[in-house]
Amino acid sequence: MTGTELTAADQRLLRDQAPGVLAAVLRRYRDFAAAEDAVQEALLAAAQQWPRYGRPDDPRAWLIRVASRRWADEQRAAVARRRREELVAEIQDEPAPPPPTERDETLTLLFMCCHPALSPSSQVALTLRAVGGLTTAEIAKAFLVPEATMAQRISRAKATIQSSGVPFELPSPGETAARLGPVLHVAYLVFNEGYTASAGPELQRRDLAAEALRLARMLRRLLPDEAEVAGLLALMLLTDARRAARTGANGQLIPLDEQDRATWDRAEIEEGVALLGATLPRGQVGPYQLQAAIAAVHDEAPTAQATDWPQILALYTVLARLGDNPMVALNQAIALAMVEGPAAGLLRLKELERDPRLRDHHRLDAVRAHLLERAGDHAGAVASYARAAGHTASLPERNYLLDRALRLTPPRPSPFRGEGT
């Protein structure tokens, strides 16, 4: 087999091996930043050499060997600079690394990359590289920033971890739940970044959603008893199922009630629903499971009209009790309007307007606009749509809101001959 590019199977294999290899190198040398660089170089070496010379019999051992050699080269250079030859001798005499317990090491890596000392965007970048096995160039492309910028972000994140002195070990069982929060959040951020694909580099960002699903599946394998891990995976599957239906041919947003439900991905829906069905009865209910449950109610409705809104309202009410989240409160108001009518929803919005986090948020205006439209107050709806359009940072959403507003304004003669309404 000779070629210049990795096969898809080899690419998958490399990415799956990345965290285990890094963990092994790291356990041996204890220097996170250097180990991570060495593994990145080993992955790049594999991408260059495997297509030409074939995949080694034991890819994992090959990667660990190459990474260790790169690490040793780098240390030798550094040591030469610092004239500390004795360290090299010690390193070279070390026995081969013991077979690592892969589960613990990958988890430890994940906790390390999602350390609370890092900003969310740094956690995301580091996780994708160290655990996801993506190259800096791939991550940069996915986030639409120059490669040098992403490289710098990753190296700063590593320096922060280094200086914070986080030991490379699993959090105690008592800590795991608390430390799991940021890890799940990072996977969710990656998913959303991929899900919000913009028109241009769409393909790259779709890969990001796939990467998030892969991370969530990995987490699920590592922590099969954590209900929220299952909840997050279910939420991703049940949301991803609607991806194709969500945008039209020109990239325009299509709201849930206007989507072509025949294009929803049945396999993803079935997997998500089954996962949720096996998880919810265990009784450790958390926000990801509840959001997944809401997504499942939508996914299982054959038409928008058949949606079980009382069920969705009940789920949002439980979700609102778990934490003070203004977006949850807003969605609860929508569900209330669907159950009791727009007047009840508008009344609830009046209360929410007092929340400074929502007052100028475009979502509040967008929801008000929808409810006013349903209540028949078209002038009010147009004003709220326009205000929401002025506040959103998303171009497709702005166009969608403006289009809704124009739909409600009285018809005027069209300047385009033959296309008049």
Partner 1 sequence: MKYMMMMNVPGGPYRITDWPREAFQAHIAFMQRFAQKLSAAGELVGAEGLSGPDQAKLVRAGDKGQPVTDGVFPESKEFLAGFWIIDVEGPERAYALAAEVSAAPGPNGKPLNMGIEVRPVMSGPPPAENL
Could you tell me the smallest distance in angstroms from the CB atom of residue 195 to partner 1? Answer: 6
Q: How far apart are CA 132 and CA 242, in angstroms?
A: 25
What's the min distance (Å) between Cβ of 309 and partner 1? Answer: 11
- Tell me whether residue 58 or residue 308 sits nearer to partner 1 (CB atom): 308
Q: Give the whole-angstrom CA distance, residue 21 versus residue 330.
A: 45
The sign of the CA dihedral 51, 55, 59, 65 is: negative
Q: Between residues 41 and 397, which has the closer beta carbon with respect to partner 1? A: 397
Nearest to partner 1 of 71, 143 (CB atom): 143
User: Which CB atom, from 71 or from 191, has the smaller least distance to partner 1?
Assistant: 191
Q: How far is the CB of 347 from partner 1 (least distance, A)?
A: 19
Give the shortest CB-364-to-partner 1 separation in angstroms.
13
CB of 194 to partner 1, least distance (A): 10
Q: What's the closest the beta carbon of residue 101 comes to partner 1, in angstroms?
A: 33
Query: Can you tell me whether residue 169 is helix, strand or coil?
Result: coil
**Two tokens, residue 328:** 């949850």
Which tokens go with 347? 């009344």
**Cβ 43 to partner 1 shortest distance, Å:** 21
CA proximity to 39, closest of 57, 20, 55, 53? 20
Sign of CA dihedral 68, 169, 191, 271: positive
Q: What is the DSSP string of 2-46?
A: --SS--HHHHHHHHHHHHHHHHHHHHHH--HHHHHHHHHHHHHHH
Under 8 Å between Cβ of 238 and 283: no
- How far apart are CB 110 and partner 1 at their closest, in Å? 21
CB 302 within 8 A of CB 264: no
Nearest to 319 by CA among 306, 304, 334: 334
Name which of 70 and 298 has its Cβ closer to partner 1: 298
The SS3 assignment for 253 reads strand
Cβ–Cβ < 8 Å for 206, 194: yes
12 vs 359, beta carbon nearer partner 1: 359
Indicate the residue among 28 and 298 with the shorter CB distance to partner 1. Answer: 298
CB nearer partner 1, residue 28 or residue 246: 246
For residue 343, give Cα distances in angstroms to 257, 346, 347, 364, 376.
20, 5, 6, 15, 11
Chain positions contacting partner 1, by CB under 8 A: 119-122, 143-146, 148-156, 192, 195-199, 205, 239, 242, 246-247, 253, 255-257, 291, 294-295, 298, 312, 331, 334, 392-398
Shortest Cβ distance from residue 207 to partner 1 (Å)? 14
* Residue closer to partner 1 (CB basis): 263 or 394: 394
